[in-house]
């Protein structure tokens, strides 16, 4: 895979937070008398406010904002046990050493993303796109289009790593090259022949004259 920049989702792609995300939303669903399984099946890859609007269609914007802030505070202050995927720290550090442009594109808020990056010890991304930066969340292409724009690289020259279906749809809609991250906690998508990895231990990066080459072993 030839590219000039890399973009990464955060939850389930760089850090092992999927179980905690599901726990947080299960807790929220039970507090509101909703089917937790239905909520969990809907939320993956999407901004929290989109999930809130979907399941609380009669709520006012003020109430939705209140619900969002409560969820955000809970997730930002409960990060125990969240870890970086194997090899992720080393791989991102290598990108910095090679001066390869990269960024994180997450559906989470800045507060939650910062807490999880700090908890896992990931290098600070040169570009960080969060829910505050976008109008349209995944699967809309805006998040990855903005990530590529902030890096100064054309979308088709970016490889984007994602674990959720909504995220992969966002990657494709933006015109980026997709890499699917499949961990033990990922939901299988059966998407066919696209590059995939379980961790970052076996990925290799080879600089070229004006780009670099990614290989997956």
Mean confidence (pLDDT) of the chain? 91
Q: Write the pLDDT tens digit of every residue in 23-37.
A: 888 999 999 999 999
Alpha-carbon gap, residue 178 to 162, rounded angstroms: 7
Question: Does 184 have pLDDT greater than 70?
Answer: no
Q: CA 71 to CA 64: how far, in whole Å?
A: 11
Instruction: Using pLDDT thresholds of 50, 70 and 90, give the confidence band for residue 118.
Output: very high
Residue 201 reports pLDDT greater than 90: yes
Statement: residue 190 has pLDDT above 70: no
Residue 52: the pLDDT is: 92
Is 210 labeled as catalytic in the residue annotation? no
Of 183, 169, 181, 195, nearest in space to 46 by CA: 169
Under 8 Å between Cβ of 14 and 160:
no
Q: What does the pLDDT look like over 77-113, one tens digit per residue? A: 989 999 999 999 999 999 999 999 999 999 999 999 9
% residues pLDDT > 90 (the chain): 73
Q: What is the DSSP letter of 125?
A: P
Across residues 118-131, what is the average pLDDT? Answer: 96
Share of the chain above pLDDT 70, in %: 96
Alpha-carbon gap, residue 8 to 44, rounded angstroms: 15
pLDDT (tens digit, 9 = 90+) per residue, 145-168?
999 999 999 999 999 999 989 999
At what angle are helices 142-151 and 165-174 packed, to 10 degrees? 60
Is 9 annotated in the active site? yes
Which element (helix H / strand E) includes 19?
A: helix 18-31
Stated length of the chain: 217
**Contact by Cβ (8 Å): 189, 212:** no
When pLDDT is averaged across residues 187-204 and rounded to a whole number, the result is 80
Give the Å distances, CA to CA, from 157 to 80, 145, 151, 169, 215: 36, 11, 11, 17, 16
Residue predicted with more confidence, 43 or 168: 168
Confidence of residue 8 (pLDDT cuts 50, 70, 90): very high
Of residues 181, 137, 204, the one with CA closest to residue 18: 181
């Amino acid at each position: 895979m030839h590219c000039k920049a890399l973009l990464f989702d955060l939850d389930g792609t760089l850090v092992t937070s999927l179980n905690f995300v599901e726990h947080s939303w299960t807790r929220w669903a039970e507090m509101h008398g909703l089917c937790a399984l239905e909520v969990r099946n809907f939320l993956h890859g999407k901004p929290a406010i989109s999930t809130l609007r979907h399941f609380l269609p009669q709520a006012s914007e003020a109430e939705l904002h209140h619900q969002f802030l409560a969820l955000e505070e809970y997730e930002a202050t409960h990060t125990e046990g969240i870890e970086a995927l194997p090899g992720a720290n080393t791989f991102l550090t290598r990108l910095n050493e090679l001066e390869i442009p990269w960024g994180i594109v997450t559906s989470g808020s800045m507060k939650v993303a910062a807490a999880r990056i700090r908890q896992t010890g990931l290098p600070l991304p040169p570009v960080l796109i969060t829910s505050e930066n976008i109008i349209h969340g995944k699967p809309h292409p805006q998040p990855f289009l903005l990530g590529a724009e902030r890096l100064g690289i054309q979308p088709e020259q970016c490889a984007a790593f994602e674990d959720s279906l909504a995220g992969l749809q966002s990657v494709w809609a933006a015109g980026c090259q997709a890499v699917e991250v499949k961990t033990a906690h990922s939901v299988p998508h059966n998407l066919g022949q696209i590059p995939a990895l379980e961790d970052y231990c076996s990925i290799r990066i080879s600089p070229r004259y004006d780009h670099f080459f990614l290989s997956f072993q």
